[in-house]
Amino acid sequence: MGGAACQSGMKESLDVTSSICDGAQPFQGRNSRNAATLSTMIPKPVQIRAARGRALAALICLGSAAALAQQIPQINRSHSFGPDQCGPADPAYIKTANETGGVPLFLQRSEVAKSFHVVRESTRENVATVLWASAKLAGAGQSFEVPVDSVTERITFTFSVDTKGTKLVLRQPSGQEVVAGSPGTEDTELNCGRVITVVKPQAGMWHAEVTGTGTFWIEAQAQSEIYFIKAEFVELRGRPGHEGFFKINGQPIAGQPATLQVSMSATQVETTEFELVNTKGEALEKLHLKTIDHDREFLELTGEVKLPDQPFRIAVTGRDAKGMPYQRFDSPLFHGESVQVVPKVSFDEIAPGEKRTGEFEVRNFGPARTFKVTVTDARKLVSSFEPKELTLPTHGSGTLKVQLAVPARTTNFGDDLVVVVASTSGAPTTNSAIVHLLVASKPEAEGQR
């Protein structure tokens, strides 16, 4: 019997929750008849900022499917399947992988140890995504060109399929096929996939060819000094005279102006060209970004983006310092949404024994519809919330009120408040907002006044 393992890409700009938006439940134990029921979330260290303990995050997801992943490894439940099968797996895991830039692995019991090849390589320092693509084969195979720059120390190709028999052929720039035993290569064959790591790879254009049937996933990750630090949509906020760009809450709004801000490690880069790519790894449109910080260790650019009508990632291509081509994909998947959540919280601290109400405005940019609301948090600070459903007309808005109550005898801590709002009819739409609050005792002098 086998099970699914979800290798999930992470980054600090993700507003994260568990698979609550998809109704997934945590793994409670292992049935002896199941094989690998692992869903391992593998973070990318270079792109992660640890969550600060002082922050209480209020996350509002609007939609029926917000496949967001934990920032720490987690084990979840999946379906079991036969020895010669590649699934089925829980759709929540597939969505989590697709949304975060990871790869679902359909493992047999005997292959669990082999999967740590992916874990080891994904958790090295300065690991960046060179290519991410997924598609369903319809007769003809697909090929990909993968530029490997001159400063890449090692590169790992992770290939997974949901139909046994689908194959990956990988060729070096010289045209030589990479096989088990190739110099500097670790080649792990799986029942439903393959993982290949090449140390000191030849710089130039590598070629990956996929043939067979069914859906496949392919990801290339390089350990290199060229990588995204962050890529996020921002808006101008702040007090008059002190305005600045801040990350927006959730996803950008379809049909509305969107400002993108990216930063990358570019000490080994000669040129940069930014673009949007789809989930097949294909270019959608070129971006015209303006450099606002020329520091090559933290090259920062910004510009307006016309949102496509399909999910997309941010990518950069160009030449490295030695003139060799490079390519990088930012892991998270963006998608223009037709609903927005605007925090209206008037406080940023809450004290032990105190009760406060946090408000959020929900704006509907799509057709009239109803949204179902679910609220939860790890520390159980939510005492109630209203309404349980929001019915909004086109261009209408409504207010969500969340009641928070902190126990009197409480030490300082942070919490994650998760609010999920799912459209109950029509095309599903998803969005989110985060408000950071400090749960801390008031100074003694202030408490005596």
Q: Is 238 left (phi over 0), alpha (psi -120 to 50) or beta?
A: left
Looking at residue 109, the DSSP 8-state letter turns out to be G
Q: pTM for this structure?
A: 0.81
429-449: pLDDT as tens digits: 988 888 888 888 876 655 454
Numbers of helices and strands, H then E, in the chain = 3, 29
3-21: pLDDT as tens digits: 666 565 543 333 322 222 3
Identical fold, 227-329 and 339-448: yes
Cis peptide before 147 (omega within 30 of 0): no
Tens digit of pLDDT at every position of the chain (449 positions)? 566 665 655 433 333 222 223 233 222 333 332 333 233 333 333 232 222 222 222 223 333 233 343 333 334 445 566 777 898 888 988 998 999 999 999 998 899 999 999 999 999 999 999 999 999 998 789 999 999 999 999 999 999 999 999 999 999 999 999 999 999 999 999 999 999 999 999 999 999 999 999 999 999 999 999 999 999 999 988 778 778 889 998 899 999 989 999 999 999 999 999 999 999 999 999 999 999 999 999 999 999 999 999 999 999 999 999 999 999 999 999 999 999 988 898 988 899 999 999 999 999 999 999 998 877 787 888 899 999 999 999 999 999 999 999 998 888 888 877 777 779 888 899 888 888 888 888 766 554 54
Cis peptide before 443 (omega within 30 of 0): no
227-329 CATH: 2.60.40
Phi and psi angles of residue 191, each rounded to the nearest 5 degrees, phi first:
-60, -35
Amino acid, single-letter form, for residue 382: V
* Token pair listed for 251: 């996803």
Burial of 193 (0-12, 13-18, 19+ CB in 10 A): buried
Do residues 141 and 212 make contact, with C-beta atoms less than 8 angstroms apart? yes
Instruction: Give the Cα separation of 39 and 78 in Å (integer).
Output: 7
Per the listing, tokens 């459903």 go with 389
* Token pair listed for 111: 């292959």
In the chain, domain spans: 124-224, 227-329, 339-448
Do residues 158 and 118 make contact, with C-beta atoms less than 8 angstroms apart? yes
- Closest CA relative to residue 154, chosen from 124, 117, 133: 124
124-224 CATH: 2.60.120.380
Which helix (H) or strand (E) element contains residue 311? Answer: none
Instruction: Give the Cα separation of 303 and 97 in Å (integer).
Output: 28
Buried b (16+ CB within 10 A) or exposed e, 265-280: bbebbeebebbbbbbe
State the distance between the two ends of the chain, measured CA to CA, in whole angstroms.
66
Domain 339-448 sits in CATH 2.60.40.10: yes
